[in-house]
Structure 1
Amino acid sequence: MAGSKVGMDESSNRNTPGTSSGLDVGGRSRKPGGLVFLCASGGAGLTTLVAMVSKMLTRRSHVCVLADMDLAGGGMDVLLGIEGAPGLRLGQIRAPLGRMDSQALQEELPVWDGIPVLSNDPWNGRPPGWWDMDAALRAMSCFADLILIDAGRGTDLENLRSLAGLPRVLLVDMTVLGLARARSLLVGPESFQGAGVNGGGVSSVTYGDPSARVPRQEGVARGGLKPGSDRANLAGPDPLAVIGILPRAGRSSSVVDQEEAADFLGFPPLCVLKPSASLAGSILSGLGLEKIPRSYLKALDSLIGVIEDSLLTGPGEVEY
């Protein structure tokens, strides 16, 4: 990117390790403090969920940054209403030596409601190499308590070493098809080969059959990191949390309740969100996410508590 300060140049080579180059004090690669958000169903509202969580955490005095790693979809800046704001996008990231100056990156990112945003605009060009994205995530870890990563369906992210082992939040469309798709992110495709649970079918959702619980995968830890591997396997058991979302349209009979969802996924939804007409209207009209609905604030409070207890130093002070 011509004229950009981002990347590895002669001046950034002189940075003290651990200050702005994405390295720790020993000169080793810094592991980002991140949280990966996934959803197997497109259009369910994953990006909106990630943005709301970042806004709620920021209100509690936690320093957050948003990273749009949905390589197939993207458009986080459009959803937030800042698509016209100048600044760096994912496709412009270049780090040929695998390092990036964190201060320069922070200065060049567009900001939404006080939160730096690295958005992916795939219609403007192909995404950068995995080494470029890894360098960006490491650099962002230098100026944020937590990187909230919109990974979409997790497509084409296997080489992102920065995502390996990170905790995950799974958004689930509370329909039979949505649950079937979500289970692929919990067990991985190899679990459906041979004798799988219920033959990989979904009929047990209707009846809440406890035998449909997801089996534990041998050798797969939280975050989907296989021992001895630095590749990001985003499919795996034990997400940090599962959040349900009701469909925007359809009959109530098509909705799967929380108990049945827990039986099928092997993991109970922490909360279930209802579509908000006011929120959808604000986003679709181009105004962005202006205000989090009060019902969402209450429902997501439990998720915020889990994130604070597991990934941050503890509860922050809420700003009013």
Structure 2
Amino acid sequence: MTRDPDVDLRTCYERARDGRYGFFASNVTHFDVLVGLLQGSADADSDLVVQLGKEEAAFFGGGDPVVGVRVFGACLDTLAERYGIEVFCNIDHTHIPDDFEYLEAAVDSGVPDSVMVDASDEPFERNVDLTAEAVDRVGDDVLVEAELGRIAGVEGDTETPDDEAFYTDPEDAVEFVERTGCDLLAVSIGTQHGVASGRDLDVRPDLAAEINGALLDAGHDTPLVVHGASGVPDERIEALIDAGVCKFNKNTRYQYEFARTAADFYHEHADAIRPPEGTADDRAGFFADSDWEPDKTYFHPHVVSETVRDRIATVMGELCELTRSAGETISDEYE
């Protein structure tokens, strides 16, 4: 889903690989997060990859993820017209074979530029077979990202314990790409889904470089993806870009920024919203019989939403600088 029909996500990733920069592909859990991501990317003059997981799609669709994909796509398409950057959508973590029906419906909606199919909890041969089937079902117009290796932590409703996680083998990566035809490969190099402290992660840029080198030697210029980027130190992100990674998934950071910003705002302005002790909690009557009344300056939803959007925009701008995508929008080449 881009503003310019002549620009596609494959071109964007190829350009990033050549220019030694990358993207934080950002999961959108709320409308305010989306607006903040767009504003922050535009301010940094960086293209944007947003992601929608099935759980998030169900939220936007009032419980129906297929409806949610269409609703999200309409919002994204309309908003993207306001910004001078390219905006792409990835459908994140479809767990095959269970999600095949959802995957096909999402692709049929015309919303995604790429889809991530996940059979990484299956044995290697089963993962290969399911991923190859997904590539065939998706077709040539939408990129397919697959995963090889297991990443610890919680992703949606799926939890992988630490003792079940394992690193991606470079030789297996080459065989996997050759046999499945996937366009991007998510690799396990020590990151973790969800909340994680960087000092507890054994992140290995050297392994990413080894996987990238093995793929290139075999004739596959396949972009690498790192999931679980929240909590990874900046210097490791920079080293991973140099090692061939051009897409980092980030979700938890935005969730925390949303909640923390809203919590700080309402804590600071609690006296303007909650009645003082001893005052009857007359919400329906707006405290007509009291000397106190709430201040709409602070309880109007737009006020905290604007604060959240501004914070997400600031974070996104900093992340664009970190991945070196700032100032690299592909739109400049098509003006």
TM-score bin, normalised by smaller chain: 0.3 to 0.5
TM-score, structure 2 length as denominator? 0.37
Of structures 1 and 2, the larger Rg is shown by: 2
TM-score, normalising length: structure 1: 0.38
